[in-house]
Amino acid sequence: MKKKKISIFLRVLITCYSVIVLTSLFGRNHFIFGTILISGRWFFVILGTLFLYLTTRRATSKYFQILLFFALSITFLEFAWIKLNKETLNNNSTNTELSLMTYNLFFKNRSPSSSLTIIKESNPDILLVQELIPSWEKRLNNSIGKDYPYRKTLPLRGTHGIGIYSKYPILANHFLKNESSLPFAQIVEVKIGIKRIQLVNTHLASPAIAIENPDNFLSLFASNYRKRISQLQKINSLTRKKEFNVQIMAGDLNTTRYEPLFRNIESEWVDLFSISGIGSQENFPNSSKTNPLLALDYIFARGALNSIETQVIEGGGSDHLAIIGKIEI
């Protein structure tokens, strides 16, 4: 009787396990199911392997063994498909070093001087900023303006201001705007020697409203997720021609590494931290009380370049930490 109860309990567990895994696999692009799959993939593999072992030891029905084998197989196949579809770099550079920094300045930054210190000490060749309000633009121009003779900015009150500061000539500039005519990305062309570089300064829609309204979190986050997907699609549609030697997309993407959206980004762009990252990639929130919990800001690239070093810069008055990367083009 006891063995029978254990067998029934095991079958129930296997059925629940298989439903969760297969639902996550077939719903891999849904923000909930996809996140469950990405964050729990290896836990599912270990648990499924354990269940498969137990079914052979307890002579469980072949149906459950086949179900487990199918769930495990499709999990591995989906993971292999992700790896095969990841964008890779063409390491055909001419050893011209270029440094870039992306920094969400935070429109409510109460210690702008400490953030300015980080920018000046890092001294990147190209600086991409988000949440650029008019007072921030004035500070930057007064503090580092002479070092960056080329700049394209759109300062705005609130969170949507954006701008690029460059030591190299900016040949073209285009802002992508949302349904409220506020920018979520800035696309520029920079010329470095004979190389044409395309830069995408990005600030995708923030899910802050969902976090601030926990009673309606799922519906608000789902709406925000759809906006981020749409915004990324617009960016990709304008950059997919790959007419440039190097393309770089950097900024505050408001997306964690565990979301399906991040996986989709990696099918067209390479996260430089995954190649040359130093230390932890988490950069939000910046607090004196706790370490950052999430990575929301990134430097992505594709084309002919080598990634030398990518790291999070500690300190500053923003709620985000800055990200700096060094590449060879």
**Given this model, what pLDDT does residue 60 score?**
64
* Cβ–Cβ under 8 Å, residues 309 and 326: yes
Please name which of 190, 198, 195, 169 lies closest in space to residue 96, comparing C-alpha atoms: 195
> Which region among 8-12, 66-70, 104-108, 318-322 has the lowest average model confidence (pLDDT)?
8-12
Question: Given a cut of 80, is residue 6 above it in pLDDT?
Answer: no
At 241, is the pLDDT very low, low, confident or very high (cuts 50, 70, 90)? confident
**Given this model, what pLDDT does residue 254 score?**
97
* Cβ–Cβ under 8 Å, residues 312 and 262: no
- Tens of pLDDT, residue by residue over 205-229, are 999 999 999 999 999 999 999 999 9
- Phi-psi sector, 301: left (phi>0), alpha (psi -120 to 50), beta: beta
- Beta strands 170-177; 183-192: pairing state: antiparallel
Q: What phi, psi does 200 have (nearest 5°)?
A: -120, 110
Cα 307 → chain centroid: 17
**Given this model, what pLDDT does residue 55 score?**
83
**Given this model, what pLDDT does residue 94 score?**
73
Mean pLDDT along residues 41-69? 86
Q: How much is the mean pLDDT over the chain? A: 94
Mean pLDDT along residues 26-42? 95
At 75, is the pLDDT very low, low, confident or very high (cuts 50, 70, 90)? very high
**Given this model, what pLDDT does residue 242 score?**
73
**Given this model, what pLDDT does residue 282 score?**
97
Residue 276, H or E segment? helix 273-276
In whole angstroms, give the CA distance from residue 271 to residue 262: 10
In whole angstroms, give the CA distance from residue 155 to residue 123: 21
User: Residue written as tokens 């989709």?
Assistant: 264
Share of the chain above pLDDT 90, in %: 84
Determine if the pTM surpasses 0.75.
yes
Question: Given a cut of 80, is residue 126 above it in pLDDT?
Answer: yes
Question: Given a cut of 80, is residue 125 above it in pLDDT?
Answer: yes
In whole angstroms, give the CA distance from residue 193 to residue 94: 11
Beta-bridged to residue 284, according to DSSP, are: 294
In whole angstroms, give the CA distance from residue 269 to residue 188: 17
* Cβ–Cβ under 8 Å, residues 260 and 35: yes
Q: What own/partner pairs with CB < 8 Å and gap ≥ 24 does 34-40 have?
A: 34/259, 34/260, 34/263, 35/258, 35/259, 35/260, 37/78, 38/257, 38/258, 38/259, 38/260, 38/263, 39/258
**Given this model, what pLDDT does residue 1 score?**
59
Question: Given a cut of 90, is residue 271 above it in pLDDT?
Answer: yes
At 61, is the pLDDT very low, low, confident or very high (cuts 50, 70, 90)? confident
**Given this model, what pLDDT does residue 69 score?**
92
**Given this model, what pLDDT does residue 58 score?**
65
- Tens of pLDDT, residue by residue over 141-166, are 999 999 999 999 999 999 999 999 99
User: Residue written as tokens 């500061």?
Assistant: 165
Residue 103 structure tokens: 């920094």
Which residue intervals of 58-157 are DSSP H helices? 62-84, 112-122, 134-144
In whole angstroms, give the CA distance from residue 213 to residue 207: 10
Distance (Å) of CA 253 to CA 206, 207, 259, 269, 300: 8, 11, 12, 13, 11
